[in-house]
Amino acid sequence: MKTTLLFAATLMAGAAFMAEPAKADGHAPVCGLNTGTAATGDPIKVGGINGNAPPGDFSGGTDGAAAYFDCVNANGGVNGRPIEYIVENDQWNPELAGQVATKLVKDENVVALVGNGSVVEMAVNAPLYASEDVMVMASGCAISECYESSHIVSTNQGPLPSGIGALKFAIEELGATNAACIGFNIPNNGGWACDWMNEYMESKGLQGTSILMDPTAVDLNSVYLQALAEGVDTILLMLPAGPAIGLLKVAEEQGGRDLFKWVSPTPLYEPGVGEILGEYWSENLYINIELNEFDSEGADNQNWAKVVEAYGQDGDRQDTFSQSGYISAKFFVDALLKLDPATIDRPTVTKAIQGIVGAESDLLCKPYYVGEADRHMPNHAGRMVVFKDGGFELVRDCYDIDTNYLDPIRAQEAALGLK
C-alpha cells in the first residue's frame, strides 16, 4: 500500500481542519441526468492527459473528471450513452506527451479531452488539437500555451491571474510597493508569469522584479538572499508547493517572516500545508485560491466532495485540480446533454463546447465560457485566504484582477455579453 495514503490519512485527521475537503452529508451525489440507472448505450470516447511523474503529480484534474464521469454513467449517462474516459500520463516527457495525444485524438478518435493537467503536454499538443479541431477542457494548466491556444480552455487560472490576484491583495491590503516574483526559470511558466507581474506592478506605479531559479535549484538560501539584496518589501512565491515550502523554510531559518509580506498563488493552498509550515507562518502567509475553499458550503463544492468520495479511487488527489476537473467534466456533460445523442461526434462536441457561455458554479467567482477565440481564460477572479493556525481563513471573497494581459479576454467577454 502506498505510504502516501498513510500520510494523507494522518494529515486529514490532523490539524488541516479548514483545508479539509467538505464532508459528504450522506445524500447521494447529483450527476448528469441523475436517473439512478446505469447508461448502457454506445460509449462516447473522451480523453484526458495528466503529468504524473517526478517532479510533480498533476493528476487531480483527471481524477476529479473520472469520478464525475463514473457518477454520470451510473445515472443515465449522456442521454443513455456512457462516457468512456481514457486517461493517459505524459510523465513530464514531451515525446510521450505527443504520442499519447496522437493516440487519443487520431487512434481512439475521442470527441474531446477533459481534465488535462500537465506542464508539458499543452505546449506540445496545442497545434494538434487545433488542426484536428478537438477541444480540450483542461483543469490543471500552468504554462502560457494553455491560455493562448484556440482549442484549449482551462478551468483553473494558472500562475498568471492567481499570482496577480495575490499581488493585488498585497498592494491593497498589505501596502506592498516593491515585489519580487520568485519563479522557475521556464520561459512559458515562471518567466511568462513573472514578466506580467512586473508589468502589473509598473502599471500601478510600483516596482517589481523577477528572481528566476532552476527547478532543481539547491541553494534556496541564495534565492532568498537575492530578494533581500533587491530591497523588496513583498515576496510572491510563483512556485509549486514543494520549492515554495523550501523557500519558506529558509526564510524561517533566517528570521525573514517579518522582513517581507509573503503572498502566493494557489499551489500553497493544499491539504497538508498546515502541518508542514507550522505555527511560525500563521497569519503571515496570504494565498490566492483559483476555485472555492475546500470546505465551502456551495452546492457544487459539496457535490464534488460527494462525487470523489463515492466514485473516486484510492489515492486520488483531492485538491484544487480535482475541483477543477470535476467542474470541467460537469460543464462538458451539461453541454453534451443538449445534443441529440445519436449525433454526438467530434464536430458536434467541439461546437457544443465552443457554445458554452455563462455556465455558473459556486466553485468559480464568475460565469464560465468558451466561445471561438484564439485564446481562452474564463477564470481570472479568485479569493484570498490567510494561513492561520494550521488551516486557512478567507480574507477576501471573489475579486477580479486588472492587467493588460486580459485585454483580449475582456474583448471576448464583451462580445459574448459577459461582464
Partner 1 sequence: MLKVYGLFLVSGLAVGSLYALAGIGLVILRRSTGFLNFAYGALAAAAAMVAWQVADWGAWGPIAWLSALLTGVILSVAYGRIIAPSLAWREPAVKAVATLGYMLILLGVMGLLWDDELRKLSLPTDKMATTLLGVRVTVTRMIALGLSVAAVIAMILYLDRSRMGLNMRALADDRDHAALLGIPIVRVETIAWCISGALAGVTGLLFGSLVRLEPTVITFMVIPATAAAIVGRLNSLPMTLLGGLLIGVVEAMLTLYKPLAPLRAMTPFVIAGLVILWMQRGTNLTFATKD
Q: Which stretch binds partner 1 (CB under 8 A): 167-175, 220-228, 341-349, 388-396?
A: 220-228
Among 243, 312, 378, 390, interactor with partner 1 by CB under 8 A: 243
Q: Does 55 bind partner 1 (CB under 8 A)?
A: yes
Determine if residue 342 is left, alpha or beta; phi over 0 gives left, psi from -120 to 50 gives alpha, anything else beta. Answer: alpha
Q: Which stretch binds partner 1 (CB under 8 A): 34-42, 147-155, 212-220, 406-414?
A: 212-220
Q: Does 185 bind partner 1 (CB under 8 A)?
A: yes
Angle formed by the axes of helices 320-337 and 60-73, nearest 10°: 40
Of 265-284, binders to partner 1 (CB under 8 A) are 270, 272-273, 275-276
Among 18, 65, 212, 285, interactor with partner 1 by CB under 8 A: 212
What's the closest the beta carbon of residue 373 comes to partner 1, in angstroms? Answer: 32
Cα 209 to Cα 172, 182, 263: the distances in Å are 19, 9, 15
Among 6, 299, 342, 411, interactor with partner 1 by CB under 8 A: 6
Cα 338 to Cα 342, 343, 348, 349, 351: the distances in Å are 12, 11, 11, 10, 12
Residue 273 vs 291, nearer CB to partner 1: 273
Q: Does 112 bind partner 1 (CB under 8 A)?
A: no
Q: Does 13 bind partner 1 (CB under 8 A)?
A: no
Residue 225 vs 395, nearer CB to partner 1: 225
What's the closest the beta carbon of residue 199 comes to partner 1, in angstroms? Answer: 18
Rounded to whole angstroms, how far apart are CA atoms 99 and 169?
42
Residue 88 vs 270, nearer CB to partner 1: 270
Q: Does 140 bind partner 1 (CB under 8 A)?
A: no
Q: One symbol per residue from 314 to 353: x for binding partner 1 (CB under 8 A), - otherwise; what is it?
A: -x--------------------------------------
Rounded to whole angstroms, how far apart are CA atoms 240 and 250?
16
What's the closest the beta carbon of residue 179 comes to partner 1, in angstroms? Answer: 16
Q: Which stretch binds partner 1 (CB under 8 A): 216-224, 331-339, 351-359, 364-372?
A: 216-224
Q: Does 56 bind partner 1 (CB under 8 A)?
A: yes
Among 14, 41, 43, 246, interactor with partner 1 by CB under 8 A: 246
Q: Does 178 bind partner 1 (CB under 8 A)?
A: no
Residue 81 vs 249, nearer CB to partner 1: 249
Q: Which stretch binds partner 1 (CB under 8 A): 6-14, 21-29, 349-357, 407-415?
A: 6-14
Q: Which stretch binds partner 1 (CB under 8 A): 141-149, 240-248, 354-362, 394-402?
A: 240-248
Residue 209 vs 303, nearer CB to partner 1: 209
Q: Which stretch binds partner 1 (CB under 8 A): 21-29, 64-72, 93-101, 222-230?
A: 222-230
Provide the binding-site residues for partner 1, judged by CB under 8 A: 2-4, 6-8, 10, 52-57, 185, 211-214, 216-223, 225-226, 228-229, 241-243, 245-246, 249, 253-255, 270, 272-273, 275-276, 315
